[in-house]
Amino acid sequence: MSARLDAGQCLSLNRRLPQRALTSGSRYIRGFLDGQATAYCEQVRLGSRLAGAINCPQEYAEDLRGLVLREQCLAKVTLDGSGRASVWIYRYSFLEHVIDRIERPAGGRELPDAFAIWASGKLFGYSDHEIARYIEATIGEDEDSSDAETARRRLQEIQKNPQSLITGDALKARLERCQN
């Protein structure tokens, strides 16, 4: 049996809610994030991925953490200092150490090394082939994976020409047709 509130009770309840909860935009964001977290929890529980991560405004992080815990998964919240947070969703406690390494690459580098990229790919359920292809395209096979300057140059190349990330002749041809 559900309890119904009269108009006065609803008005009183609305006054106590944070202002962001009353806007349609924040309701949309909350619903989107809750749906994403629920989907990641299901994938983690069923074993199709080891972990998931949701980047969101910091004010939603603790509520998402609670939802993840209710979905019988583990959650770790990391803050980036700019008002945003990552909510990590996982099942096995040892993954907290892997997440820490991904969040803070070895040697204090600002760009991830090959290990961090590989670990992220495995956590998120990508195939070995796709992870290797991405590492080769990002860092390069013959280059030192710890060379931050090489990674910065590659990032600048990608920013200048985002199409360089696209692989496969058919996909490149479709993109060129769309741009012409």
* 11 falls within a domain: no
- pLDDT tens readout for residues 97-143: 888 888 775 555 566 778 888 888 888 888 888 888 888 888 765 44
Tokens of 18: 């944070």
| 94 and 132 share one domain | no
Name the band, by pLDDT with cuts 50, 70 and 90, for residue 16: very low
CA distance 175 to 171: 6
Residue 32 maps to which CATH number?
3.30.1370.50
| 99 and 116 share one domain | no
- pLDDT tens readout for residues 49-84: 999 999 999 999 999 999 999 999 999 999 888 899
Last residue of a domain, one of 73, 104, 135: 104
- The domain total for the chain is 2
| 80 and 126 share one domain | no
Last residue of a domain, one of 104, 130, 165: 104
- For the full predicted model, state whether its pTM sits above 0.95: no
The DSSP symbol for 107 reads G
| pLDDT surpassing 60 at residue 48 | yes
**pLDDT attached to residue 73:** 97
Tokens of 98: 């892997």
| 100 and 39 share one domain | yes
| 173 and 114 share one domain | yes
Last residue of a domain, one of 74, 104, 134: 104
CA distance 171 to 78: 36
| 63 and 112 share one domain | no
| 30 and 50 share one domain | yes
* 167 falls within a domain: yes
Report percent pLDDT > 90 for the chain.
34
Q: 3-state class of 82 per DSSP?
A: coil
* 14 falls within a domain: no
- Domain boundaries, position 84: 22-104
| 33 and 100 share one domain | yes
| 31 and 98 share one domain | yes
| 91 and 117 share one domain | no
CA distance 63 to 74: 14
